[in-house]
Amino acid sequence: MWLATALALIATGINYGNNLVFALAFMLLAIWLQSAWLCWRNVSGLVWQPGVPMPVFAGEAVRIEGRLRENSGRQRFALELATDAESGERSGVASDSDAPLALALPTQRRGLLTTERLLLQSRYPLGLWQCRRRLPTLQALVYPGPAGEARLPVASPLPAHRQTAADDFQGVRAYAPGDSPRRINWRAFGRSEQLLVNRFDGGRGGEALWLDWESCAGHGERRLGQLTRWVIEAEREGREYGLRLPGGALPPARGRAQREATLARLALFEGIGGVEMA
């Protein structure tokens, strides 16, 4: 519309021979061209330092975060992260400094979310032009959304880790999540600063909680949702648990590492004829 207005003024100036109309038309053209230069200059030369997206559950928003670094001594204005469908809040960057920039992307399905068209864009200064710069692709893991109302299954009769000392001493091994603090060899820790636990022959360990695909009802995605809910509940209760899926199993353990490993397997599970990625 800006360009059409300038061309209409030129036609009017030619028709009526009015120099003031010519001056206004050429001023609009000069502003239009100068805005293009300023918009390109506002985006170019910035260094993008992306962060690692945190995993989320299906239905939540993945937050893409990073920092823009300005090294050329120029202040930047009205910058934003965007995709073809979403855009974040606008932010500026002072000269010779950095500033955070973020974008929230909605999710609907589990899997690996890939930001194939992540853009740094700006409409500075007047919104007449939009400059876009392609940014590196990022990936975020989307866990299945918790679903189902079934209670946690009963513990398996198989021990997860030995938790009681009995019979003969068999040496030491590396500490594993779920081992009793009573069995830590503190003398070995004082020498090597590594957590080691005593091994004994004959002691019976605590019972492991197995989260089994076959224990769930419904179709594939519903089963994954039920398993996800069980993982959250078992972790909340401090239980030691393992995961059984068609084609493989994850040994029992407890703690944050076990939670992340279990949810990652559920997110990327393809044993139900494939999964449509987000």
Lowest mean pLDDT among 122-126, 148-152, 158-162, 184-188: 158-162
Instruction: Tell me the mean pLDDT in the region 225-236.
Output: 91
Regarding whether 199 and 122 lie in a shared domain, the answer is no
Q: Which domain holds residue 184?
A: 165-205
Instruction: Tell me the mean pLDDT in the region 227-247.
Output: 89
pLDDT of residue 272: 60
What CATH number does the domain containing 138 carry? 2.60.40.10
User: How far lies 218's CA from each of 94, 148, 223, in Å?
Assistant: 55, 10, 6
Tell if the pTM clears 0.75, that is, is over it: no
Coil, helix or strand for 152? Answer: coil
pLDDT band for 135, please (50, 70, 90 cuts): very high
Regarding whether 100 and 57 lie in a shared domain, the answer is yes
pLDDT exceeds cutoff 80 at 158: no
Regarding whether 272 and 152 lie in a shared domain, the answer is yes
pLDDT band for 47, please (50, 70, 90 cuts): very high
CA distance 201 to 88: 59
Regarding whether 188 and 117 lie in a shared domain, the answer is no
pLDDT digits (tens, 9 = 90+) for 178-217: 677 777 777 777 777 777 777 665 444 456 788 988 888 8
Regarding whether 189 and 156 lie in a shared domain, the answer is no
CA 195 to chain centre: 32
Regarding whether 152 and 235 lie in a shared domain, the answer is yes
pLDDT digits (tens, 9 = 90+) for 90-127: 899 998 899 999 999 999 899 999 988 899 999 999 99
Regarding whether 253 and 150 lie in a shared domain, the answer is yes
Please answer whether residues 90 and 130 qualify as being in contact, where contact means their C-beta atoms are separated by less than 8 angstroms. Answer: no
More reliable by pLDDT, 146 or 181: 146
